[in-house]
Amino acid sequence: MPRKSPFLIDLSADEAIELNRRAARYTLPYFEVVRAKMILMAAAGINNDAIAARLDTRREVVSQWRQRFHKERLAGLEERARPGRPRVFPPRADH
């Protein structure tokens, strides 16, 4: 049975324009496009299970981004610094 999210999404006109712009861009990183689509679907009243099925992801991922958007708005969709030491790639050996 689908759960109802306590984080209802109500977009302002500016937020809707920006999210639609992100969702339609082919040049943006994939994760930005998917996050925008998640929030647009959530604003349309679609539950997390249905959003996850449409975007081929897990319900927990949709729930996380819905919650972050609800609390932080557009800034919540931005990539954050990850904990731990940054990855180091060895120099390429061009032969």
Q: Does 2 have pLDDT greater than 70?
A: no
In one-letter notation, the amino acid at residue 19 is L
What residues contact 53, with CB distance under 8 A and at least 6 apart? none
Domain ranges of the chain: 13-76
List pLDDT tens digits, range 31-65.
999 999 999 999 999 999 999 999 999 999 999 99
- Sign of the alpha-carbon dihedral angle for 26, 32, 38, 39: negative
| Euclidean distance between CA atoms 55 and 52, whole angstroms | 5
| Euclidean distance between CA atoms 95 and 85, whole angstroms | 30
In one-letter notation, the amino acid at residue 47 is N
List pLDDT tens digits, range 59-89.
999 999 999 998 888 777 777 766 787 777 7
Residue length of the chain: 95
| Euclidean distance between CA atoms 67 and 63, whole angstroms | 6
User: Under DSSP, is residue 82 helix (H, G, I), strand (E, B) or coil?
Assistant: coil
